[in-house]
Structure 1
């Protein structure tokens, strides 16, 4: 007799499957199922009775109900209407219902975040980077407890010289203090993701660092293009020199300053880096102070980044 192929069983959360819900991979849906991990995250969040908490991606509400027990109010932002329905059912007819506000839609497409004291989120991995910077630009919160892919979390906390140190590392650390507070294995989720996870604590720096963020971003973008190369090598690229030359001439025009006839952007850049003794610097080992010095030296010479 011919072999009969066994039917493949889909990885679906048993309780949710009974209600006809299948997880949507496009939304990166991996429901945190382990109550011990949820309890640990809540404890590390240090929720105050007066806190308004923003939860991004509440799913079926396993963590939401625990936050509601401790916070004054929870604003849950969910993109999947099916999950919204399950969350509403879960609190319906309970004292928690009045404390829960649900925002339906993509948090990244929301022009402004609501007021909140604390953010707690099991973040869909595909929105990790844009979400970090949306939160940091918002700034008006005490801290955020966020779960990310383990390697992404390690990039956030990486220090100069570390293998994973990158532009994401320094840009995040410029705006906030960030620490990994716990690691979470993939078997704590349904369905299990393909990678391990980690929970970070993110605290915006207060007061914020005084720097032109557009210029900072322009400088770090050039430096980390090839982070193992020296700054002298990075600033020799024609596209980089052309952009700096255009910015220099634009600033001269705005400030009604004549551009010297013999002005050569390449020579000027080499002079700045050599004088600062930064020509041998490599982005992979530069800290925030190093980048600040380089940015200040260029700006003092009338050269700007965009």
Structure 2
């Protein structure tokens, strides 16, 4: 697969740009694992974002009912269309997946450009689908599945947990890519689900989580005080009034806890208690 990837790129005079995340997986066993983890069958409509030279696309075309492959780089689109010529179950789209309306799909399998990991993950979690199997930078993947109290636990962890079950399935070394990235990668599976706890105001939840983790090393009482204007941007309360509101609204178990110690459920409960002052 490495030889074929280099041949296609050399023939068309294309240089892949690491800064754009154009690292192509050249280990067929890794690509097969991704397809197997997604349990792809002929009944599935599969979406691939960042198709590159089509190493994964070709294998998806064999396994899935239909495949829609999105690639931003016009030069790589030429290679994709040539490799997939005659495959009637594959549609190739040129464009930015962050900006375009995504086609209907029930599964997504992708080696994502690292630079769009967070933004595309939340865009996907706003849509309906069954399973996503995605390649991320290892550090990002570890943040997705981190436990409360750990160094990787944060806003990303909480917001994904609220929307989906995340599993880190495999670590992938730099040698599985061309060109090789400087860091290891990981395969993650996301399964959307109903939220595991009730939130009365999801926008307020998002603001509370963001504000608290901006002060992750502080106790909740102080973190809320320092970020109160971000949570309630229309407030005209004085600092003393804010202190009084926080102290009278939340129980001591939350006020004295440090932010990383809070579970997603705790953060949901805090949000529900913090009605507009």
For 2:51 and 2:62, locate their aligned partners in 1 and report how far apart those are by CA, in whole Å: 15
Question: Is it true that 1:67 corresponds to 2:67 in the alignment?
Answer: no
1:13 Cα deviation after fit: 5.2
Provide closer, same or farther for how the CA distance between residues 241 and 164 of structure 1 changes in structure 2, counting only shifts above 3 A: closer
What are structure 2's unaligned runs of at least 5 residues? none
Please state if 1:14 is matched with 2:2: no
In structure 1, distance between residues paired with 2:107 and 2:233: 43
Deviation, structure 1 residue 248: 5.4
1:20-31 to 2 correspondence within 5 Å?
20-31=13-24
- Aligned equivalent of 1:264: 241
Q: CA deviation at 1:28?
A: 1.3
Tell me the distance in 2 between the aligned counterparts of 1:118 and 1:279.
41
Matched, 1:196 2:184: yes
Q: Match of 2:149, SS?
A: coil
How far apart, CA to CA, are the structure 2 residues paired with 1:141 and 1:134?
12
Secondary structure of 1:202 counterpart = strand
SS of 1:145's equivalent in the other structure is strand
Q: How does 1:205-224 map to 2 (within 5 A)?
A: 205-206=193-194, 210-211=198-199, 212-224=201-213
Specify the SS of the correspondent of 1:159: coil
- 5 Å matches for 1:52-131? 52-92=45-85, 94=86, 96=87, 98-110=88-100, 112-131=101-120
Q: Offset at 1:246?
A: 5.4
TM-score, reference length from structure 1: 0.83
Counterpart in 2 of 1:183?
A: 171
In structure 1, distance between residues paired with 2:233 and 2:71? 44
Q: TM-score, normalised by structure 2?
A: 0.91
Q: Is the 8 A contact 1:122 1:147 kept in 2?
A: yes
CA deviation after TM superposition for structure 1 residue 293, in Å: 1.4
Q: Deviations over 1:197-256 (max 9, x none)?
A: 00000011136754322111110112111212101111222xx3445665457xxxxxxx
Shift of 1:102: 1.4
Determine the C-alpha separation between the residues in 1 that align with 2:233 and 2:194: 35
Q: Is the Cα contact below 8 Å between 1:229 and 1:283 reproduced in 2?
A: yes
CA contact 1:165–1:284 (8 Å) conserved in 2? yes
Distance 1:20-1:241 versus aligned 2 partners, 3 A rule = closer
Describe the shift of the 1:17–1:170 C-alpha distance in structure 2 as closer, same or farther (beyond 3 A). Answer: same
Find the aligned partners of 1:269 and 1:118 in 2 and give their Cα distance: 43
Deviation at 1:131, TM superposition (A): 0.7
Cα separation, 2, equivalents of 1:241 and 1:167: 17
Higher CA-based Rg: 1
CA RMSD of aligned residues (A): 2.1
Mark the CA change 1:86 to 1:241 in structure 2 (over 3 Å): closer, same or farther: closer
Once residues 106 and 234 of structure 1 are traced to their aligned partners in structure 2, the CA distance between those partners, rounded to angstroms, is 37
Distance 1:193 1:122, change over 3 A: same
Residue 294 of structure 1 aligns with which residue?
270
Quote the offset at 1:193 in angstroms.
Answer: 0.4
Indicate if the aligned counterparts of 1:241 and 1:266 stay in contact, CA closer than 8 A.
Answer: no
Contact 1:245 1:265 in 2 (8 A): no
Change over 3 Å in CA distance of 1:209–1:132 after alignment to 2: farther
Match of 2:157 among 158, 169, 177: 169
